Structure 1
Amino acid sequence: MKLFEIAKIFNAKVEGDGNIEITGVKGFEDSREGDITYIASSKYIESAKNSKASAFIVKEKIEEINKPQLITENPQFVFAKLLEIFYVKPHTHKGISEKALVANTVKLGNNVTIYPFVYIEENVYIGDNTVVYPFVFIGRETLIGSDCIIYPNVTIREKVKIGSRVIIHSGSVIGSDGFGYIFHEGKHHKIPQVGGVVIEDDVEIGACVTIDRATTGNTIIEKGTKIDNLVQIAHNVKIGQNCIIVAQVGIAGSSNIGDGCILAGQVGISDHVEVEAGTIITAKSGVMPGKLSKGVYSGIPVFSHREWLKANAIFQKLPELYRKVRELEEKIKQLEQA
């Protein structure tokens, strides 16, 4: 594909030779002749000068680089889309495998692919172009939209509702029982978990994620949210639109995460927490019950990230401060003895 053809796709501007042939898309350190890469910021310009790439995707023309440049508002987005164009092959329609167990009451849209060893219970609906890979279990009365990809070894329990263009990676469990017990007469008695899970359009769920069904009502993941690997989402949690939930996050029951929030790796959210839209919580932080206003937070329990940075700087100086205190105590002791 020629560079000017790429420019047309993204309504971008070409500086330099637009007729060069682009044969691949790579990072600037791995690029070879024929590849296109991108420069995220000015701090990478010196490194990019040594790249063998034939063209660069940039936000503004970079005079120091004497190679063709594709100028666009969001270089990283264009780079990601080019990776998709060059390397991501669409899933081919293979129909329903004879080795899959599909109940007679299951309804399938057009061009659905069901691989061998899939088990689908009664009254399930699966929309057009959805692909279900081997060893997937789909429970009764579950609804799955169009253009979804469900990778091997995913478990989708009964009465789950999944929108369109949803991706669920291997090993995830959607609709497992919420963790609810009542202690009575010396024993833990299980609270039946009779609710469901609703996953809206354009959600991506990483590998080995668990999303528990609600006690009553629904656990809800709203459209556009992306969930990394090894995340636990408990019963009756609601996660808003376009959130980013990074690996090993745990969200306890009945918490509400607003639109556009970012929860970094290993964040722990206690039960009945409300996090306002647009909030960022940094890695390994812990949020106690209550309401968290929009902002950036760190620590256990969380407080303002700016204040946390100051506190952390002091924490690192504690050994030095401790030595000084001991020295002062010794001097005071000597003065008192004198």
Structure 2
Amino acid sequence: MISTVGDVAGWVQGEVVGDPSQIIRAARPLSDSPQADEITVVLDDRFLSQFHASRAGAAIVDMSAAVNGKTMVRVKDPLMAFVSIVKRFHVLPSPEFRGIHPTAIIHPSATVAEDVSIGAYVTIGEGCVIGPRCRLNNGVMVGHHCSLGEDVQLGPNVVLYDGCVIGNRVTILANSVIGADGFGYRTIAGKHVKIPQVGHVEIADDVEIGACTTIDRATFGATRIGTGSKIDNLVMIAHNCQLGRHNLIVGQVGLAGSVVTGDYVVMAGHVGVADHCKIGDRSMLGAKAGVHKDVPPDQKMLGAPATPAAEQMRIMSSLEKLPEIRKDIREIKKQLGISDS
């Protein structure tokens, strides 16, 4: 595909500074050494000098970027503009299967909208409702009495256990498992006896769930994921959890049973939250934070056990000085004639 800088600017409603007739054949980030017929992106003014030193023919930049001889396209949001351009040059639309594949197994009592895409070897159980424009990729298993709203997309081999309620415009990527048994046991007479998990999972509108994530059904009632929340790959959400609206849950987070989060909570990678903890609105938990008690709203927490970020930074600073402190203590004990044993 061959275009000009002027063409590219039109795609993203940008302003050309320089030569709009410059030929562009591809889009490539600065780290991939873009060439003279390629356009790149500058996400921060700190990288402008790297762009000017590169062979790139043009760059997508912020509206405030300074001019110094190379062709640029100024936009309000360089990242999203560049994503759009990359899609134009490099991302081929996937051929989309429409209709129901002959190998799909659908229970006669299920209700399936006419304009769906149901791939090979999909199974849909008794009493299910599959809404308009849903797309179920190959190997999906939908248990009995599940409900899917409009425009739901389930990636290959996604499993929905019985009773799952999925809202509108929900995306669940490959191999995720929604509604499996919660991990609940009682020790009776020296044996771990399973507590039956008879609840279900409810996922609200506009939620996205990454690959290989698991969300367990509730012991009773529902495990709930709030509207607009985005959950990364390899996340574990245990039974009875109640996530608020627009949470961001990054890879390898683990939430124990009955965790409750407010709205706009952010959890970075490897965060672990103990059972029955409550995380307040807009709180942010840094990578590898270990949360063992409730977190009030608007907090930034780091470390294990998690403490407020400012306090944790002081602790980390002190830890870095421990060898020096230990050396000083030995010297003082030596001067005082105190044994260091």
- The offset of 1:242, in angstroms, is 2.2
Structure 2 residue aligned with 1:209: 213
- The offset of 1:232, in angstroms, is 0.5
From 241, 245, 248, give the equivalent of 2:249.
Answer: 245
CA distance, structure 1, for counterparts of residue 23 and residue 328 of structure 2: 67
Q: Specify the SS of the correspondent of 1:241.
A: coil
C-alpha change, 1:271 and 1:5, in structure 2 (3 Å) is: same
Q: Give the count of matched residue pairs.
A: 335
Normalising by structure 1, what TM-score?
A: 0.90
- The offset of 1:8, in angstroms, is 4.8
C-alpha change, 1:103 and 1:225, in structure 2 (3 Å) is: same
Q: Is the 8 A contact 2:215 2:237 kept in 1?
A: yes
Q: Choose 200-209 or 126-135, whichever is displaced more.
A: 126-135
Identity over aligned pairs, percent: 35
Matches within 5 A, 1:82-97: 82-86=85-89, 87=91, 89=93, 92-97=96-101
Stretches of structure 1 that go unaligned for 5 or more consecutive residues are none
CA distance, structure 2, for counterparts of residue 153 and residue 173 of structure 1: 9
CA distance, structure 1, for counterparts of residue 260 and residue 223 of structure 2: 10
CA distance, structure 1, for counterparts of residue 5 and residue 245 of structure 2: 35
- The offset of 1:234, in angstroms, is 0.9
CA distance, structure 1, for counterparts of residue 297 and residue 77 of structure 2: 30
- The offset of 1:182, in angstroms, is 2.5
From 303, 308, 311, give the equivalent of 1:304.
Answer: 308
The residue identity in structure 2 corresponding to 1:72 is: V
Structure 2 residue aligned with 1:261: 265
Q: Is the 8 A contact 2:236 2:254 kept in 1?
A: yes
Structure 2 residue aligned with 1:274: 278
- The offset of 1:35, in angstroms, is 3.2
Q: Is the 8 A contact 1:93 1:112 kept in 2?
A: no
- The offset of 1:89, in angstroms, is 1.7
Stretches of structure 2 that go unaligned for 5 or more consecutive residues are none
From 50, 55, 72, give the equivalent of 1:52.
Answer: 55
- The offset of 1:80, in angstroms, is 2.5
The residue identity in structure 2 corresponding to 1:112 is: V
Q: Is the 8 A contact 1:195 1:216 kept in 2?
A: yes
Structure 1 residue aligned with 2:326: 322
CA distance, structure 1, for counterparts of residue 265 and residue 214 of structure 2: 19
Q: Is the 8 A contact 2:282 2:297 kept in 1?
A: no
Structure 1 residue aligned with 2:70: 67
C-alpha change, 1:268 and 1:334, in structure 2 (3 Å) is: closer
Matched, 1:13 2:15: yes
C-alpha change, 1:230 and 1:189, in structure 2 (3 Å) is: same
Q: Deviations over 1:249-274 (max 9, x none)?
A: 00111111222221111100111111
Q: Is the 8 A contact 1:159 1:196 kept in 2?
A: yes
Structure 2 residue aligned with 1:27: 29
Structure 1 residue aligned with 2:140: 136
Normalising by structure 2, what TM-score?
A: 0.89
CA distance, structure 1, for counterparts of residue 97 and residue 31 of structure 2: 37
CA distance, structure 1, for counterparts of residue 113 and residue 338 of structure 2: 88
Q: Specify the SS of the correspondent of 2:337.
A: helix
Q: Deviations over 1:139-196 (max 9, x none)?
A: 0111122333222221111111112322212221100111222233333332222221
CA distance, structure 2, for counterparts of residue 108 and residue 6 of structure 1: 41
Q: Choose 248-257 or 234-243, whichever is displaced more.
A: 234-243
- The offset of 1:33, in angstroms, is 3.9
Structure 1 residue aligned with 2:124: 120
Q: Deviations over 1:20-41 (max 9, x none)?
A: 4544332123233443322111
C-alpha change, 1:122 and 1:334, in structure 2 (3 Å) is: closer
CA distance, structure 1, for counterparts of residue 172 and residue 163 of structure 2: 17
C-alpha change, 1:141 and 1:52, in structure 2 (3 Å) is: farther
CA distance, structure 1, for counterparts of residue 226 and residue 88 of structure 2: 27
Q: Choose 74-83 or 60-69, whichever is displaced more.
A: 60-69
Q: Is the 8 A contact 1:93 1:111 kept in 2?
A: no
Q: Is the 8 A contact 2:65 2:74 kept in 1?
A: no
Q: Specify the SS of the correspondent of 2:30.
A: coil
Q: Choose 168-177 or 198-207, whichever is displaced more.
A: 198-207
Q: Is the 8 A contact 2:156 2:175 kept in 1?
A: yes
C-alpha change, 1:204 and 1:323, in structure 2 (3 Å) is: same
C-alpha change, 1:47 and 1:24, in structure 2 (3 Å) is: same
Structure 1 residue aligned with 2:41: 38
C-alpha change, 1:91 and 1:252, in structure 2 (3 Å) is: farther
CA distance, structure 2, for counterparts of residue 150 and residue 224 of structure 1: 17
CA distance, structure 1, for counterparts of residue 95 and residue 230 of structure 2: 21
Q: Is the 8 A contact 1:140 1:159 kept in 2?
A: yes
